[in-house]
Amino acid sequence: MNTGKNLKPIVDSVTLTIVNNAMVSACREMGVAMMKTSYSSIFNEGLDFSCVIFDRDGEMVACAEFCPAQIGAILFTMQWTIAEMGLENFGPGDVIMHNDPYRGGCHMPEHTVIKGIYHRGELYGFVGNIAHLTEIGGKAVGGFAADAKEVYQEGLRLPPVKIVRNGELVEDIWKFLLLNHRTPRTSWGDLHAMIGSLAVAEKRLHRLLRRFGIDGLLDIGKRLIAYSEKRMRAEISDIPDGEYSFHDWIENDGVTPEKRYRINSTVTVREDEVVFDYTGTSEQARGPCNCTYGVTASATYNAMLSITDATIPKNSGCYRPIQIVAPPGTLLNVEHPGPSVGGNSEVHERIVDVLFACLGQAVPERVAAASGGSSCNFLFGGIHPDTGHYYANYHIDGCGWGGKAHSDGNHAQCPINGNCRNTPIEIFETRYPWLTLEYRLAEKSGGHGRHRGGFGSVRVLRNRAPEVTVSSFMDRHVTGAWGMDGGGEGAPGRLLIKKSGEEAWISFSDAYGTVSPNKFADIQIDRGDEVLIASRGGGGFGPSCERPPEEVLHDVVEGLTSVQEARKVYRVALTRRDNGSLGVDAAATARLRRTRAKAVRKGSEAGNG
């Protein structure tokens, strides 16, 4: 055994596995510490953060499975901070923080904290996390200025600064920071949870350093990175070479009426490398639907990690065979002073859908139809009627996921960029002045198909405070999630308000004159007003008439479709048995499907003629 001196141990596959598992576990423990000690529900319920370990060369050695929206950006935020600060300016007990989206970040609410790990006076590397703070100042409550036209409206932007020096808080920085947040107590608690979690990982790393020494642990990290790169290259080699293209549209930016923005991608696979080229994407928007390079990189890595072997260790090696071309000044690589708060939360998942459509042309068995593709970002805050204190919250809802080659899409699940948990209604109503009147699946919202898309959800909230300020940033309200291989389209979303004493549900544009009915900021609603959030359904996969009749029967029994829809859409005839239960009429179903097949062939022949 190594005695703690800088000796390289004999490294075999067992040692690599043990060290990798130990580092990943340390990252997971960071997340648990943040969950248990934080103040906001987006931390302790939503788990909207990621935790990592880097070596002193700025290479990611390990990460935990928390928020995919940050898996790419944290590579750049860490490396940028290390390069800008300089290794010589880090010291034991120092913690550096920044949230500048133009320095490799996601969007301004995401704050990164970094701490150097020293062993016997020598720097090994860094532990860090990136997390979404609920309140960061700016023009809109909750740090989500959905109608911002420049970054300065989005909140307090910080370059890399020391918030802890030699183990002591830098009070001037803290005073400046908290003075600009509407909910300083919550920000204080969440930031201390982030900082405290670094100590957890530091303790775990010191155990490894005492066993292997700095040089030994650095060597093991390099070997793990090389191993992951080798595994990823092997996965890419299994994808047929070629160029695969697709595009989709963001419906509006919340600022310019009815102007759409194109997401364009060409994926080129050549042997063991892949290039994701976003040339042809629209120029950056005036409103905040832009993405930083870090967001685009995260979405790209997210798509690739979703279709490759999940057992590959997640470190810098995974990303080496993946090249990204995102022209500056476009929707997917915003330049200063363009706003970008909506890109990370609402456009990331749409990029993934586009890449699934590209890759589905090569490996359709690995991808899914389009998801609902929205986090249903709904922000609110004000003076709590029960406490008299200011509060703010960033609320998200799940959507339907796309059907896959081998299974249906999931219902009401957080979009692929978030991986966040749903906040329980009991917690939601305890902390915030809302009454939840309904929370259910949205009927018939999933796209039809051999494997149907997942259903979205419907949530109806009633305001019980004298006044609440709300903001929203949602997309897919005009067109739904597209299907794949003949699958049907999912239902689009809705965001409506019913004023107190009224009977009709109307859009926010009709009620308040907002430019967009689903992207707006700083709207004051009154006591008794109700808000309806209907999330989108996922697209279907494959022709609906190929869905096994027994699965259609199960859908009818579960209330996911009707007897009439089973016959009309899926060509499945159901009959009532003697005991009163429903069953499949096999003969009638066979006739219906033969008739459908003949109609399809006849249409195909007419088209060819």
User: What pLDDT was estimated at residue 605?
Assistant: 53
User: What pLDDT was estimated at residue 68?
Assistant: 81
| Nearest of 553, 560, 605 to residue 584 by alpha carbon | 553
By the 8 A CB rule, do 423 and 414 touch?
A: no
User: What pLDDT was estimated at residue 70?
Assistant: 81
- Report how far residue 519's alpha carbon sits from residue 605's, in angstroms, rounded to the nearest whole number: 46
The C-alpha angle 580, 585, 591, rounded to 5 degrees, equals 155
Q: In 3-state terms, what secondary structure has residue 24?
A: helix
- Please state the separation of Cα 160 from the chain's center in Å: 24
Question: In the block, which residue shows the tokens 């159901």?
Answer: 574
By the 8 A CB rule, do 40 and 214 touch?
A: no
* Mean local confidence (pLDDT), 292-316: 96
DSSP string, 113-139: EEEEEEETTEEEEEEEEEEE-S---SS
Question: pLDDT tens digit string along 544-575?
Answer: 999 999 999 999 999 999 999 999 999 999 99
The DSSP output letter for 279 is T
Q: How many CA atoms lie within 13 A of 305 on its CB side?
A: 26
Question: Which residues make beta-bridge pairs with 468?
Answer: 525
Confidence of residue 326 (pLDDT cuts 50, 70, 90): very high
Is the link from the previous residue into 337 a cis peptide, with omega within 30 of 0? yes
Q: In 3-state terms, what secondary structure has residue 257?
A: coil
What lies within 8 Å, CB to CB, of 600 at 6+ separation is: none
Confidence of residue 4 (pLDDT cuts 50, 70, 90): very low
User: What pLDDT was estimated at residue 426?
Assistant: 95
* Mean local confidence (pLDDT), 418-446: 93
By the 8 A CB rule, do 30 and 126 touch?
A: no
Question: Which residues make beta-bridge pairs with 244?
Answer: 267
| Nearest of 113, 111, 84 to residue 100 by alpha carbon | 111
Q: In 3-state terms, what secondary structure has residue 97?
A: strand
Confidence of residue 603 (pLDDT cuts 50, 70, 90): low
What amino acid is encoded at 269 in this protein? Answer: V
Domain ranges of the chain: 13-231, 368-542, 544-608
Alpha-carbon Rg of the chain, whole angstroms? 25
Confidence of residue 3 (pLDDT cuts 50, 70, 90): very low
By the 8 A CB rule, do 358 and 246 touch?
A: yes
End-to-end CA distance of the chain: 77
Question: pLDDT tens digit string along 86-124?
Answer: 999 999 999 999 999 999 999 999 999 999 999 999 999
- Report how far residue 227's alpha carbon sits from residue 320's, in angstroms, rounded to the nearest whole number: 11
Confidence of residue 73 (pLDDT cuts 50, 70, 90): confident
Question: In the block, which residue shows the tokens 């648990």?
Answer: 32
What amino acid is encoded at 288 in this protein? Answer: P
What amino acid is encoded at 470 in this protein? Answer: V
Q: Please, which contacts does 589-592 make with residues 24 or more away whose CB atoms are closer than 8 Å? A: 589/549, 592/567
Residues in the chain: 609
CB atoms within 10 A of CB 88: 7
- Report how far residue 67's alpha carbon sits from residue 65's, in angstroms, rounded to the nearest whole number: 7
- Report how far residue 268's alpha carbon sits from residue 485's, in angstroms, rounded to the nearest whole number: 21
pLDDT of 1 strictly over 50: no
- Range with lowest mean pLDDT among 155-169, 197-211, 302-316, 414-428: 414-428
- Please state the separation of Cα 518 from the chain's center in Å: 19
Calculate helix-pair angle for 293-307, 73-85, nearest 10 degrees. Answer: 130
By the 8 A CB rule, do 16 and 220 touch?
A: yes
DSSP string, 295-351: HHHHHHHHHHHHHS-TTS--SHHHHTTEEEE--TTBTTB--TT---HHIIIIIHHHH
pLDDT of 184 strictly over 60: yes
Confidence of residue 422 (pLDDT cuts 50, 70, 90): confident
Token representation of residue 19: 């060290």
* Mean local confidence (pLDDT), 473-498: 97
- Report how far residue 493's alpha carbon sits from residue 263's, in angstroms, rounded to the nearest whole number: 20
| Nearest of 248, 219, 136 to residue 484 by alpha carbon | 248
| Nearest of 91, 73, 135, 90 to residue 109 by alpha carbon | 135
Q: Please, which contacts does 31-37 make with residues 24 or more away whose CB atoms are closer than 8 Å? A: 31/64, 31/66, 31/129, 31/197, 33/193, 33/196, 33/197, 33/200, 34/129, 34/131, 34/193, 34/194, 34/196, 34/197, 37/189, 37/192, 37/193, 37/196, 37/197
- Please state the separation of Cα 412 from the chain's center in Å: 14
What lies within 8 Å, CB to CB, of 3 at 6+ separation is: none
Percentage of the chain exceeding pLDDT 90 = 90
User: What pLDDT was estimated at residue 601?
Assistant: 64
Question: pLDDT tens digit string along 366-383?
Answer: 999 999 999 999 999 999
- Report how far residue 2's alpha carbon sits from residue 401's, in angstroms, rounded to the nearest whole number: 49
Token representation of residue 231: 């595994």
- Report how far residue 413's alpha carbon sits from residue 305's, in angstroms, rounded to the nearest whole number: 19
User: What pLDDT was estimated at residue 498?
Assistant: 98
By the 8 A CB rule, do 163 and 95 touch?
A: yes
* HEC letters along 540-594: CECCHHHCCHHHHHHHHHCCCCCHHHHHHCCCCCEEECCCCCEEECHHHHHHHHH
pLDDT of 2 strictly over 50: no
- Report how far residue 360's alpha carbon sits from residue 352's, in angstroms, rounded to the nearest whole number: 12
Mean pLDDT of the chain: 94
Q: Given the DSSP bridges, would you call strands 322-325 and 273-277 parallel, antiparallel or unpaired?
A: parallel
| Nearest of 346, 535, 392 to residue 456 by alpha carbon | 535
* Mean local confidence (pLDDT), 26-43: 96
